[in-house]
Amino acid sequence: MSSGNFQELVAYNAERHRAVCAGFDPTLSRIPKKFHRASICGTLTGFVNPMVEALADTVGFYKPNLGFYLRFGHEGIQALERIAAHMHEHAPDVIKILDLKTGDIGATNEAYAEFAFDVCGFDAVTAHNYMGYQAMEPWLTREGKGVFVLVRTSNKGAEEFQKMGTCSTTEMGEVRSVNSEGFLFERVAANVADSNMWNQYGNVGMVAGATETSIDDLATIRRIAGDSVVILSPGVGKAQGGDAAAAFAKGSNSDGAGLAVNSSSGITHAHADEKYEGMEPDEAAAAEATNMHDTMEAVRIAA
């Protein structure tokens, strides 16, 4: 399947100030009855594909989450494949991220790369950091693809390890001193941004949440990341409560770009919001994405 080049698409988005990421995570019980078909695959594609078209000129990123398709078994995966194909046909310039938040040894990561990049033609994947960058080479070395590494997540309880203090020890003769080196998430951000480690191919992004508990760390992560790394910031919308304007203010780079502010159910199920009563799901999704876009543009222009 043909696909774009991650870095070129990032530059294209930056020029057009497209910072909205649409997380396509459909929940069956929230899909209006009239979209239901005999097969799950038919229901999911019939519901999501019109949104793909409606959002193509507004958002910079699409991000379906693997779990929301895999829950239906092979029929859900077939739907994901077809939605990915629809994205390529109708939105060649939107960056397509497969959110699978995995990370394994090299041979397994190669298998995931084949699904994400070859079968579906996604431009990027999300990745856990715990195995270290060497295991991630099958993703990092893929030319024209991007890898968004989890740095600071938006969920309750994310502090357990992410805000654990780290240290180094130095020994001089009999004296051993322990030096505080910041929180784990800061160390992860530093390694991911490092052009001798995760970023040696210049194609990493970072995931850093925009919820109330995580947003101050988003500003810290932008400082560590520098201007060239794209930050994917989830947690905006009703489900998790984050605010797009605040996310933009804390997470964008010095050019007012380099950011993907994600809303999943807030866009996918915007039609259930009373604000958009009477609208078709694709119209409501586009209205919500346009709202997010305008909110962030106001912050950018005022800065």
Instruction: Assign 208 to helix, strand or coil.
Output: strand
Give the one residue of 47, 112, 148, 276 binding a copy of itself; rule: CB under 8 A. 112
Nearest approach in angstroms of CB 117 to a copy of itself is 11
| 186 burial level (CB within 10 Å; 0-12, 13-18, 19+) | buried
Of 58, 78, 220, 268, the one binding a copy of itself (CB under 8 A) is 78
- Residue 239, interface with a copy of itself (CB under 8 A)? yes
Q: Say which residues have a Cβ less than 8 Å from residue 221's Cβ, sequence separation at least 6.
A: 151, 152, 185, 186, 189, 206, 208, 231, 251
CB of 12 to a copy of itself, least distance (A): 28
- Residues numbered 114-153 forming contacts with a copy of itself, rule: CB under 8 A: 114-115, 119-120, 128-135, 150, 153
Nearest approach in angstroms of CB 298 to a copy of itself is 28
Q: For a copy of itself, how many residues bind (rule: CB under 8 A)? A: 65
The residues pairing with 180 across neighbouring beta strands, listed in sequence order, are 167
Amino acid at 51: M
For residue 292, give both structure tokens: 């997010």
DSSP string, 36-55: --SSHHHHHHHHHHHHHHHH
3 binds a copy of itself (CB under 8 A): no
Total residue length of the chain: 303
Question: Residue holding tokens 């859900």?
Answer: 76
- Shortest spacing between CB 109 and a copy of itself, in angstroms: 7
Out of 15, 157, 278, 302, the residue judged to bind a copy of itself by CB under 8 A: 157
Residue 164 engages a copy of itself in binding (rule: CB under 8 A): yes
How far apart are the C-alpha atoms of 292 and 263, rounded to whole Å? Answer: 9
Stretch that binds a copy of itself, among 64-72, 213-221, 271-279, 289-297 (CB under 8 A): 64-72
Distance CA 176, CA 118 (A): 51
Neighbours of 29 (CB within 10 A): 4
Tell me which of 16, 30, 37, 71 binds a copy of itself, using CB under 8 A. 71
Segment lying near a copy of itself (by CB under 8 A), choices 49-57, 182-190, 221-229, 266-274: 182-190
The nearer residue to a copy of itself, 139 or 252, going by C-beta atoms, is: 139
The tokens of 228 are what? 């060239």
Cα 54 to Cα 51: distance, rounded to the nearest angstrom: 5
User: In the complex, what is the shortest distance from the CB of residue 101 to a copy of itself, in angstroms, rounded to a whole number?
Assistant: 5
Neighbours of 175 (CB within 10 A): 7
Q: Name the catalytic one among 101, 145, 156, 250.
A: 101
198: nearest Cα among 252, 249, 246, 130: 130
CB of 194 to a copy of itself, least distance (A): 11
Q: Does 200 bind a copy of itself (CB under 8 A)?
A: no
Residues 6 or more apart from 92 whose CB is under 8 A from it? Answer: 4
The verdict on whether 145 is a catalytic residue reads no
Catalytic annotation, residues: 101
Footprint of a copy of itself (CB under 8 A): 25, 65, 67-68, 70-75, 77-78, 81, 100-109, 111-112, 114-115, 119-120, 128-135, 150, 153-162, 164-169, 178-181, 184, 187-188, 191, 197, 239-240
